[in-house]
Structure 1
Amino acid sequence: MQYTHLGRSGLSVSRLCLGTMNFGMEAEESDSFGIMDAAHDAGINFFDTANRYGGKTGPGGTEKILGRWFAQGGGRREKTVLATKLYGDMGDWPNEGKLSALNIRRALDASLQRLQTDYIDLYQFHHVDRGTPWDEIWQAMEVAVAQGKILYAGSSNFAGWHLATAQEEARKRGYTGLVSEQSLYNLIARTIELEVIPAAQHNGIGIIPWSPLQGGLLGGVLKKERDSSRRTSGRAKETLEAHREQIEQYEDFADELGQEPGDVALAWLLHQPAVTAPIIGPRTREQLDAGLRALDVRLDADALARLDAIFPGHRPAPEDYAW
């Protein structure tokens, strides 16, 4: 396993992050336990969850699954860099969501109870809260740090100017601020290259891409359609039709490289200098093993240029749209 620092922090994390959103939704608890054990065996020490995750088990269900896994002992919690998130409503009463000081306090304590741990390594804002001032947010986070309940703060789905504002307000307080940002980022979805990535790099914030295979569209979707007559539907079908020609070229190029399409997509992200660790969200042990293969895929300059030609990216703003 390869490791790197999370943003400008001294925290070492694996180059792949185990996403747990499918635990309790697509994967049963026993299978989830097996996936987490296998992740540790492979050297993955970075696990991501959120208080809203749970699927059929309801909000908080995924954190409870992790908590029961940690409770088995064997160094499971000590070996894990644990990241969770807050923002979404956990109930229908006021102050049960977003980033007020009150909700940060309550949501954090509830996550700690479900996770059966006394601290969270990386506590992340799942979305920007336009209704709460940063001095309130950072004061609440500073209290949580002083109490030993969290170590680092991260964000998710922020715009570039949100990152810049958050960091400036943290600096005024003498606080570290954000060390990571989770964003939608893959070969098809490259919008964050405009301003989020430049803002993150300037402020020492590591990028943690979610949906690295764009919902499976970069995982050999056309080949799977041909081999199994399985068809995509809904939004995934619309995206596939909009990018069918590109995806055909992409899958053909993966064949030229002698690699699986999904491995190439993950490897491309691992070659991007701003990226700390793509989030893989396996439903099965086989999907975990497939994600691990990407660590061994090397893309030279010609291969990276070919991928950029198939899926054109963005230059940093404003050069992307102005002189």
Structure 2
Amino acid sequence: MKYTSLGRTGLKVSRLCLGTMNFGPTTDEKEAFKIMDAAVDAGVNFFDTANVYGGVEHRGWTEEIIGRWFAQGGGRREKVVLATKVYGAMSGPEGDPNEGGSGLSAYKIRRHLDDSLRRLGTDHIELYQMHHVDRNVTWEELWNAFEVAQNQGKIGYVGASNFAGRDLVKAQYEAKARGALGLVSEQHKYSLLCRLPELEVLPAAEELGIGVIPWSPLDGGILGGNLNPQPGSRTARQGERVEKLRPQLEQFSKLCQELGESEATVALAWTLAHPAVTAPIIGPRTLQQFEESLRVVEVELNEETLKAIDGIFPGPGGEAPKAYAW
């Protein structure tokens, strides 16, 4: 495994991040345990989850599974850089108005952090992330809440997810005014089929020293090379989109065959080639899928290959404003 710093911090994380969203609803606990054991054995020390993972009927399920895995001992907790998130509703709309909807507040951060710690069976979380931006809450309130949690030793660093470039800049401006470190990471949708972040988000993150953690780097499996998926599979449910993209996907498959690599490996390696990217999130449903992902960190795409990929999946044209002006 290869490692890098998380943003501008001294914290070292693996260049692959284990996403756990499937644990519970799709991947049963026994298989999830096998995947996490294999991840640690392979040197993947960066695990990502969220308090809402588990589905509408069992929010928190995924954190509970991870907590039971930690409880087995054997140094499991000590080997993991743990990241979870806050923003989503953790109870139905008929409950507490502060619990029944999505958003952020000092109240919600305190309560949801304590609940996550309880489910995870730990007393601290290395990276606590805002799952989405909430522009109705002041940064004064948010930074105060996170600083309290840091001073209590409950969280190490603060990260974001689904923030626009302007939100990253605003967050860092307000943090700097307080003499605080601010955000160290931004978890963002980024893949060959979603290159808009190259306009603003990735350049802003790189300039501010914020590590980018791409989510859905295979775009729901579409970039995984399976153009004839089994009925009922996640990719099959996007059948109309797959058909629309089929010419590009077939070109991509041909290129990957010439490289001697799988489509998933090349798509993930492409995200790693961007200097702003810390680690893409891999979300395996099975142990086999996880093991197949490990090859990614050994693959380096040369300029000729990157140019060929750009020809198949064009980006927005570069960073703003050059992408649309002069």
Any conservation in 1 of the 2:206–2:275 contact (CA below 8 Å)? no
Question: Which stretches in structure 1 are left out of the alignment for 5+ residues?
Answer: none
Change (3 A) 1:33 1:230: closer
Q: Deviations over 1:140-188 (max 9, x none)?
A: 0000000000000000001000000011011111111100000000111
Task: Tell me what 1:277 maps to.
Answer: 279
Query: Of the candidates 245, 248, 251, which is equivalent to residue 247 of structure 2?
Result: 245
Any conservation in 2 of the 1:207–1:274 contact (CA below 8 Å)? yes
SS in 1 for 2:224: coil
Change (3 A) 1:56 1:41: farther
Q: Deviations over 1:178-237 (max 9, x none)?
A: 000000001111010000001101110000000111111110022x45xx6888444x22
Task: Tell me what 2:114 maps to.
Answer: 109
Task: Tell me what 1:119 maps to.
Answer: 124
Task: Tell me what 1:298 maps to.
Answer: 300
Any conservation in 1 of the 2:165–2:201 contact (CA below 8 Å)? yes
Mean CA deviation greater in 176-185 or 306-315: 306-315
Percent sequence identity over aligned pairs: 60
1:44 counterpart letter in structure 2 = V
SS in 1 for 2:74: coil
1:290 counterpart letter in structure 2 = E
Equivalence map 1:54-65=2 (5 Å): 54-55=54-55, 58-65=58-65
Any conservation in 1 of the 2:21–2:62 contact (CA below 8 Å)? yes
Q: Deviations over 1:55-90 (max 9, x none)?
A: 376100100000010011111000000000000011
Equivalence map 1:1-323=2 (5 Å): 1-55=1-55, 58-91=58-91, 92=93, 93-96=96-99, 97-222=102-227, 224-225=228-229, 232-234=235-237, 236-314=238-316, 315-323=318-326
2:113 counterpart letter in structure 1 = L
2:194 counterpart letter in structure 1 = A
Change (3 A) 1:136 1:229: closer
Matched residues in 2 for 1:138 and 1:220: separation?
A: 43
Q: Deviations over 1:270-312 (max 9, x none)?
A: 1111110000001100000111111222211101110111111
Any conservation in 1 of the 2:217–2:280 contact (CA below 8 Å)? yes
Any conservation in 2 of the 1:25–1:57 contact (CA below 8 Å)? no
Number of equivalent positions: 319
SS in 2 for 1:221: coil
Any conservation in 1 of the 2:22–2:283 contact (CA below 8 Å)? yes
Any conservation in 2 of the 1:135–1:169 contact (CA below 8 Å)? yes
CA RMSD of aligned residues (A): 1.4
SS in 2 for 1:189: coil
Matched residues in 2 for 1:244 and 1:318: separation?
A: 31
SS in 2 for 1:218: helix
Q: Deviations over 1:105-130 (max 9, x none)?
A: 00000000000000000000000012
Change (3 A) 1:230 1:32: closer
Matched residues in 1 for 2:35 and 2:285: separation?
A: 8
Any conservation in 2 of the 1:24–1:57 contact (CA below 8 Å)? no
Any conservation in 2 of the 1:153–1:180 contact (CA below 8 Å)? yes
Change (3 A) 1:230 1:25: closer
SS in 2 for 1:122: strand
Any conservation in 2 of the 1:24–1:56 contact (CA below 8 Å)? no
2:214 counterpart letter in structure 1 = P
Question: Which stretches in structure 2 are left out of the alignment for 5+ residues?
Answer: none
